[in-house]
Structure 1
Amino acid sequence: MARYTGPKAKIARKFGEPILGPSKALQKKNYAPGMHGRGRKRKQSEYALQLMEKQKVKYIYGILERQFRALFHRAAIKEGITGENMLKLCEARLDNTVYRLGIAPTRRAARQLVTHKHIVVDGEVVNIPSYSLKPGQVVSVREKSKSLEAITDSLSARNAKRYNWVEWDSQELSGKFISYPDRDQIPENVNEQLIVELYSK
């Protein structure tokens, strides 16, 4: 089960934004990593910009190349705008929904909770982070995991952010995936059209 485990600050500096969570590195070193990071910026080609955008989405949602290609194919054959469909499918992933509900502070932590069988979907334990939720499905914390420190800490520090496509019940420690979000509801700074152009070559 491969995933990116390298330095988070390096990725944040590469894209100039906190892709994998808050990073102090951006304030201290607001230039790209590597020995040429401070050097004169060359104008990037169209392909380079498209590739960077694809890599950004993969890092944000923790998806590897083969999985991302399959997800893009699903988005392309689905009715609607391909780029928006792709982001909707990314948002419908189980690990992402656990993060959006506030059960975990980051997507990485959400992924770990899912793989360690702390999360149930419609009453059944699901340990696949890429599991694609359908509208109406209920995601909750497993009964014997409700007192887990990582979960209680995350829920007590749960910020005021609310997302229209998920509903949270603090008594039951469960949330419902109401619907796929509209593009303007997804807060991620992504130009999905560049990814569509990259795959349509």
Structure 2
Amino acid sequence: MLNSASPQDTPGGDDTEGTAGAEGVPANRQTDLRPFMATFPSGVSVVTTLDADAVPRGLTCSSLASVTLSPPTLVVCIRTASPTLRALLDQGQFALNLLHERARAASDLFASGAPDRFERTEWRLPLGARGPHLTAAAHAIADCRVVETVAFGDHTAVFAAADRVTVRPTAQPLLYGLRRYAGWSDAAAVPQPAAVPLTPPALPSEGAAGVRR
């Protein structure tokens, strides 16, 4: 669940040399998951919330998943030191904005840490919203309440109940993998290979040459 495939700054392994273990791998050397997770393309989201002074906070995140349909629950994994995470936990709520394929600029902006990111993008806070809605960049938005958190390593998994979901069916998702972006429209335009029929192998008929009874 690490954000290692995300355009945002992400955790990685420690390549410090150490004493080799039983398998010939240094005992105190951690595996760098980033090359592995980069080969697992995903959608891109921006997590948004308000802090105690009603100042909007947000960051780019691709480390998210559905947990259960009943109750409707999501999990996002966020760097524990993130100011957005602190505000999110203080308020107990956030909005999860899934970006459409023309919103690469928004992904880069919210991954940059720029202090004026909300001044450079279109957003609003409709009645009942759990965090800012990126109206020009998102094709789907879930308003979420925090129900549980689990800190592990340098990230915190935030489990949240989705109170409301808004989807724009005409927009297509932005994808990210192998350190680059792609659009769902481009991926979906590639012709699919013809399905291979799953038929049982033909059995030789009785009396055919080479068949013994």
Fold shared, TM-score > 0.5 on shorter chain: no
Bigger fraction of residues in helix: 1
Bigger fraction of residues in strand: 2
Please classify the TM superposition score into its range, dividing by the shorter chain length. under 0.3
TM (normalized to structure 1)?
0.26
Larger radius of gyration: 2
